[in-house]
Structure 1
Amino acid sequence: MKREDVRRVDQIAIEEYGMLGLVLMENAGRGAAERIAALCHESPRGANPVCILCGPGNNGGDGYVIARHLELLGFSVHILSLVPLDRLTGDASANASIAARAGLTIQIAKSDEDLDRWIADDETVVDCLLGTGATGAPRGLYGDAVTQANKRRGLRVAIDLPTGLDCDTGAPAEVTFRADLTVTFVAEKEGFSKPAAKPWLGTVQVVGIGVPQALLNDFKVA
């Protein structure tokens, strides 16, 4: 599935099928949380707590849903946002608000020093930074977050795709999140089949978001 196809599936599900973006995000986040929990329970490197790195868009919004469901599954979770919550919009803002009202720990990183201090060495780190819409290398604090995460000994999980990996070409940026597990939504992305992408993806697991089969058929998704 290409970058444009990802955007179109969401758009059609909302505009033509009448689905709510919040429902799609909830389905995605819950499915991802279940896969993360299974990985942590099965792996000798599995760790509790979990640190979820959240960016400004829907990928970050998925992170707030994941955090809530991991807490329900018994994990100690903290969210490390790279943007102030009042800069979030739409479904991401709604889920950040739910997480805050639910009492989940949310820290706002403003510097590389914050990232170094707040990402513990043995945590499972979940990458919800930029998502499929991003192009080019992660810059500034986003690049710093990826670098810090890659230094840690715990498991690393990418949501939809690793930050720094191009969705369509599979080309990694100089700074790219190195995942043990990539939980991707609806279908594997076009770039995942490229040899250059393989070292950054880890195991790839596909999670559905509840869109109708008729829509999936239009995009030739089994």
Structure 2
Amino acid sequence: MKIRPLWRDEVREVDRIAIEEFGIAGIVLMENAGRDAAAWITARFPPGDVCILCGKGNNAGDGYVIARQIETAGDGTWPVRIVSIVDCGELAGDAAINHAIAQRAEIPIAIARDDQSLRDLVGNPDVLVDCLLGTGATGPPRGLYAEAVRLANRLPTHRIAIDVPTGLDCDTGIAADPTFRASATLTFVAPKIGFTQPSATDFLGQIVPIAIGVPKKLLSRYQAES
């Protein structure tokens, strides 16, 4: 089934209906998303150092799942670490739960508190994953979010955006200054409507839809016209 591009409000609605009407826990959707994103990364690239940049919302929660799934699947061949640009006490809900699981799994988690520590902690990874801001974000990244995007764009690495590149408005396709310049965007359920705009093209790279376990009965409401 081919799903048409979704608006920001439709993304929220899909999540809400899956949780409230179908009884799928939000943390299950997050686990599915992170697992399949991790599987794509490990299938696409040779084993190497993976750094995941995390903020504080559900996009960060996806990042904690991705880190754990890569670490579990890699059997030591995929060193993975998380660089958070917020104190982890700011996390809530499913993101906080997955942070706690990652901690117990002894996945390295470091907190960047300024530009210098951010540069030192990120280093020069083989794969850099953007889990800073998700589809709910509007306006340009600020503070350490902005510096993390600028740093990422300077590095000679594979840059993977999760759901949407940080700085790109998923409705309008307008890229803020700065916007994460992805070599691939792993987007959940379906591409977002803003991805169809020419202004978004240079920041998306390869667009890879990732299923998160939403039932076909629900997805059929958003089916593309043939």
Same fold (TM over 0.5): yes
Residue-by-residue CA offset, 1:105-146 (whole Å, 9 max, x unaligned): 000111111111111224311000010000010011100000
What is the match of residue 155 of structure 1? 158
Q: Is 1:192 the counterpart of 2:195 in the alignment?
A: yes
- AA in 2 matched with 1:102: A
Structure 1 stretches of 4+ moved >3 Å: none
Provide the rounded CA distance (Å) in 1 between the counterparts of 2:114 and 2:127: 21
Give the % identical residues.
54
State the 1:35 CA deviation: 1.1
Q: Normalising by the residue count of structure 2, what TM-score does the alignment of the two structures yield?
A: 0.93
What is the match of residue 43 of structure 2? 38
What is the match of residue 56 of structure 2? 56
For the 8 Å contact 1:163–1:176, the answer to whether it is kept is yes
Provide the rounded CA distance (Å) in 2 between the counterparts of 1:113 and 1:17: 46
Q: Normalising by the residue count of structure 1, what TM-score does the alignment of the two structures yield?
A: 0.95
In structure 1, runs of 5+ residues without a counterpart are 42-46
Q: How does 1:98-177 map to 2 (within 5 A)?
A: 98-177=101-180
Provide the rounded CA distance (Å) in 1 between the counterparts of 2:181 and 2:98: 26
CA RMSD of aligned residues (A): 1.2
State the 1:85 CA deviation: 1.3
SS state at 2:24 partner: coil
State the 1:221 CA deviation: 5.7
Over 3 Å counting, the alpha-carbon distance change for 1:122 and 1:102 in structure 2 is closer
Q: Is 1:6 the counterpart of 2:11 in the alignment?
A: yes
State the 1:73 CA deviation: 2.2
Provide the rounded CA distance (Å) in 2 between the counterparts of 1:80 and 1:122: 12
For the 8 Å contact 1:27–1:209, the answer to whether it is kept is yes
Over 3 Å counting, the alpha-carbon distance change for 1:122 and 1:89 in structure 2 is closer
Over 3 Å counting, the alpha-carbon distance change for 1:108 and 1:131 in structure 2 is same
What is the match of residue 44 of structure 1? none
Over 3 Å counting, the alpha-carbon distance change for 1:143 and 1:95 in structure 2 is same
In structure 2, runs of 5+ residues without a counterpart are 1-5
Residue-by-residue CA offset, 1:81-108 (whole Å, 9 max, x unaligned): 1111111100000000000000000001
